[in-house]
Amino acid sequence: MRLAHVVLAACLGFGTFACAAAAPLPPQALALNRSGAEAAANGDSSTAEARLSLAIEYNPRFTEAWVNLGLVELRRGNLDQAQAHFRKARDLNADLPTPHHGLGLISDRRGLGTDAERNYRAALAVDPGFVPARVNLARRLFARGAFDDARMEFLRLTQVAPQEVSGFVGLSESLLKLGRETEAEAVVADAEKKFPNADETRFMRAKRSLRQNAFAAAEAELMPLTLATEKTVAASAWAHIAVARLARGDREGARGAAHAAQDLDPKEPVASYVLTQSK
C-alpha cells in the first residue's frame, strides 16, 4: 500500500507566502506580498501575480516576493519561469530556505529525484525547522525505498511540527516497511490521542484493522472518508475498502469499490492492484 495521501503529494509550502525578507522593506511591498499570498492561497493566480510583481517593483531585492511569484508559476505549470524566479531569489539571499525548497519542487516535478533531495537538504541546512522541505525530503526517501532514512526525517518532523499529523503518518508507514510493527502501533496510538478526528488518523486506524484482518471494522472506518471533498482522499478510501472486501472474499464488491476509486482518481494504484487481483 502507498503512503497516506497527506504525505504523497508534494508540499508546496504556500504557508511561506506571507513571509517578509530580513531587510527593511517599504510597507507597500510587505502589504502587496501579503495580499498576493492570500490571492494565491485562494487560487487567484492572476491577482497574485499582479500584487507580487508590484511588491518587487517597490524593492527588486524582495526575496520572498520572488519565491512567491515562483510558486504561483509552479502552480500554473510554468516550470521554466518558476525556476527563474527561484534562482533569482536564491541569488539574492541563499540564507533563506524558501528558494532552495522552490528549486527542489521544480526538480521534483521534472522527476529529477536526486536533484530534488539535494535542494530540500539545502533548505534544511539553512533552517532545520522548515517544515515543507522536511516533508518533501521524507516523502522522496520513502518513495525510493530508503525507509530508515525516511523514518528519521518523519521522526524529526514530529518534533519540529508536532501539530502536523503528516509526520506521524509517515513515521508509522516507514516503521511498518521496516518490519517494526510494535513501534508503528505505538505511533498510531500517539496520533489517536493527538489527532482523534483527523482523516489521516482514521486512515491509520483502518490500515491497522486491515493488518489485523478486521475487515468490517476497516470498511466502517473508511466509509465516511468516501464523502471527502478532496477527490484523492475519497479515492484512497474507496481503494482500501476494495482491499477489505477482496480480503474477505467479496470479489464483486471489491471491484465495485475499486471502480469507484478510479472514477475519482484514474491513477489510484491500490484500486488498480485490486482490479488485477479480483479477476
What are the pLDDT digits (tens) for 127-159?
Answer: 999 999 999 999 999 999 999 999 999 999 999
CB 168 within 8 A of CB 158: yes
Closest CA to 246 of 231, 261, 232: 261
What are the pLDDT digits (tens) for 34-76?
Answer: 999 999 999 999 999 999 999 999 999 999 999 999 999 999 9
CB 192 within 8 A of CB 205: yes
What predicted TM-score, i.e. pTM, was given to this entire model? Answer: 0.85
CB 203 within 8 A of CB 4: yes
In the chain, which ranges are E strands? none
Longest CA–CA span in the chain (Å) reads 66
Q: What is the mean pLDDT of residues 75-101?
A: 96
* CATH number of the structural domain 199-279: 1.25.40.10
What are the pLDDT digits (tens) for 203-238?
Answer: 999 999 999 999 999 999 999 999 999 999 999 999
Surface-to-core class of residue 75, CB atoms within 10 Å of its CB (0-12 exposed, 13-18 middle, 19+ buried):
middle
CB 7 within 8 A of CB 138: yes
Distance, CA of 1 to chain centre:
17
- What nine digits make up the cell of 261? 476509486
CB 187 within 8 A of CB 194: no
In 123-256, which ranges are E strands? none
Query: At residue 4, does pLDDT exceed 90?
Result: no
CB 92 within 8 A of CB 61: yes
